[in-house]
Each structure stands twice: as C-alpha cells, then as structure tokens.
Amino acid sequence: MDNPIYDFFTKDHRRLESILENAIVDINNINLELYHDFRVGILTHIKMEEKILFVAAQRANNNVPLPMAAQLRLEHGCITSFMVLTPNASILKILKHVLTIHDEMEEKNGGMYEACEALTKEQTAEILTQLQNTTLVPVHPFNDSDFALEVAKRSLTRAGYNYDTILAG
Ligand SMILES: [Fe+2]
Ligand SMILES: [Fe+2]
C-alpha cells in the first residue's frame, strides 16, 4: 500500500528522534545547536499537522473533528510549552515520555495518520505540496522563569499527565 502522508510524517518523527538523541548524548553537556534544530523541527512538524493535515481531514469529515484530534492538540500544546525551557534531565524525561505516547497515537494502526490519510485520499498531492512548502517555525531564546515552567506543567496536566509521576517513573 502506498501511504505517502503516513510515510512523510513518520519519517519526520524518526528524523526528529535522531536529532534529539544526538543532541543529548551527553546529558550534562547538551549540544544546543542540535537542540535548536530539534526545536525548529518539532514546532514545524506540529504546525504541519495542525494547520494542514488535521484541518484537511476535518474538512473531509464534514467538519466533524476526528476523535483523536483533541488529545493530540493538547499534547502539541504541552510539547510546545516545554520547548520554551532550557533542556535538562527532567525536562527531557517529560518530553520523551509525552512524545513516545503521542507519536504512537499518530502512527499506530487505526491511528491519526491513517485516519487523516483515508479521509483525504483525493487531495494527497495537494497536501504533500503544502507540507513541502511549509516555512520553518522561528524559535525564541529559552525562557526559564518560574512562570514558563508553571505554564509547561499546567499544559502537561491538561493533556492528562503528571509531572512528578513521570519523573518518578
Ligand atoms: Fe503530533
Ligand atoms: Fe507527528
């Protein structure tokens, strides 16, 4: 079976995982240049899902949001808010935990990508063109205020996770 949309996003997940792993080989001396590439890459990936794929799928679904969309959006918000913080062991543990569950929900059989691809079969070429033309999301310098951390923790809670539980796991 030919699943270009599924392949496009799944390949991007693997690409981003590998950038992240390379950035944090030495957790005490994180490669911030690579981590910058990860931030730009993941935020751009989220933009492609939220602004192109999920929108096209919902339109093709008589404007009814797909069942998984709400949870995935909450997790996008959460991932985005963690991208604001300077990475450290705790932040990275949270991030990897959420990303693993998140990517699986998108990639699994019967997951979001499969559902979106099935709904948009008529527009695959058009969607791929839009994806390829997506501009990179600019990132701001880190913000390590208590407020930024609180925002991130709250977005994690909203997505159904608990900061302390993940760290203790
Ligand atoms: Fe996503
Ligand atoms: Fe994704």
Domain boundaries, the chain: 4-168
Q: Is 91's pLDDT higher than 70?
A: yes
> Which residue, 77, 60, 29, is CA-closest to 123?
60
pLDDT digits (tens, 9 = 90+) for 104-156: 999 999 999 999 999 999 999 999 999 999 999 999 999 999 999 999 999 99
Q: Is 26's pLDDT higher than 80?
A: yes
> Residue 60 is which amino acid?
A
Distance, CA of 78 to CA of 4 (rounded, Å): 27
User: Which ligand sits nearest to residue 11's alpha carbon?
Assistant: 2
Distance, CA of 8 to CA of 48 (rounded, Å): 11
pTM for the structure as a whole: 0.97
Q: How far is the CA of 47 from the centre of ligand 2 (A)?
A: 10
Reported confidence tier of residue 1, pLDDT bands at 50, 70, 90: low
Instruction: Give ∠ CA 19-124-111 in degrees, rounded to 5.
Output: 60
Q: How far is the CA of 117 from the centre of ligand 1 (A)?
A: 14
- pLDDT at site 99: 98
Q: How far is the CA of 103 from the centre of ligand 2 (A)?
A: 6
DSSP per-residue letters across 66-117: PTTHHHHHHHHHHHHHHTTSPP-HHHHHHHHHHHHHHHHHHHSTTSHHHHHH
User: Which ligand sits nearest to residue 113's alpha carbon?
Assistant: 2
